[in-house]
Amino acid sequence: MADLKLHKVRGNLKELKLRRMDELLPDYLREAERQELGLLDAMDGLTTEELCAKRERALNHRLKKARFPFVKTIEGFDFSFQPSISKRQIMELSNLGFVERKENLVLLGPPGVGKTHLSIALGILACRAGYSTIFYTADELLQWLISSLADNSQGEKLRRLSRFQVLIIDEIGYLPLNKVAANLFFQLVSCRYEKASIILTSNKSFSSWGELFSDSVIATAILDRLLHHAVVINIKGESYRLKDKRKILVDKERSNG
């Protein structure tokens, strides 16, 4: 009789998609028999476990959707190597107040100074905090938008992009953009303006954006919206990629000398 009941309850839990509760029910029943665990305590334990599992699934889904190319963390960032970055400012950004306020973050600097690293680390924190997030390289994002012109689906694609609470656009500036790309980028920045955050990284200073976008009027219009509510971090320093290479060279010179 008890077996039949258990079978029925587990069937109900499965149908309700409460997988974790279903898995744990036999353990809880044994506990209940041994320690006289009350119904309320058992429900507390089971529902808390189910909720944790649900949150974990949602986080994994957000992380998968975000398409980060690597996993990077703030803890893994060596601030002593890059003294032009204020650790305090990055820790403050890690609280994601700027995302809540729908402000932008722009990371500027030469290659290898950690722009992509920090943008991913903040993006992962945003996912953890429950914000829908997506990562694109500028090149792939613009290619995707340009391809949408063929079937006139750019409006729908821009709307889809504007639904993400955090949009990371990595490495704008490596390739010059024609007017069509510049125009699409302007539309993208406009449709997110004051509605949702952009984290943008670039190796080009703002003064060369006119050249980058092949049009100084559109570049000014983009910067106007992008920077109205934004934190800009200008990283000046050496490439972290060359750090180990340099060390190997120094060690080699020492051992030769």
- In sequence order, the 6+-apart residues with CB closer than 8 A to the CB of 6 are 25, 26, 29
Residue with Cβ nearer ligand ADP (13 or 138) = 138
Least distance in angstroms from the C-beta of 114 to ligand ADP? 3
Q: How many Cα atoms within 13 Å fall on the side-chain side of residue 44?
A: 6
* CA–CA separation, 23 and 49 (whole Å): 10
Query: Does 137 contact ligand ADP by CB under 6 A?
Result: no
Query: Does 136 contact ligand ADP by CB under 6 A?
Result: no
Query: Does 124 contact ligand ADP by CB under 6 A?
Result: no
Residue with Cβ nearer ligand ADP (173 or 181) = 173
Query: Does 154 contact Mg ion by CB under 5 A?
Result: no
Which one of residues 66, 93, 104, 114 is an interface residue with ligand ADP (CB under 6 A)? 114
Query: Does 192 contact ligand ADP by CB under 6 A?
Result: no
* CA–CA separation, 190 and 219 (whole Å): 12
* Range in contact with ligand ADP (rule: CB under 6 A) among 43-51, 56-64, 77-85, 93-101: 77-85
User: What does 240 interact with, of Mg ion, ligand ADP, none (CB < 5 to 8 A by kind)?
Assistant: ligand ADP
Residue type, 204: K
Which one of residues 116, 137, 154, 202 is an interface residue with Mg ion (CB under 5 A)? 116
Q: What is the SS3 assignment for 96?
A: coil
Which one of residues 20, 62, 115, 225 is an interface residue with ligand ADP (CB under 6 A)? 115
> By CB neighbour count within 10 A (0-12 exposed, 13-18 middle, 19+ buried), where does 99 fall?
buried
Write out the two tokens for 46.
């089971």
Question: What single string gives the DSSP state of each residue in 122-164?
Answer: HHHHHHHTT--EEEEEHHHHHHHHHHTTTTT-HHHHHHHHHTS
User: Which residues contribute to the site for ligand ADP (CB under 6 A)?
Assistant: 72, 77-78, 81-82, 109, 111-117, 201, 240-241
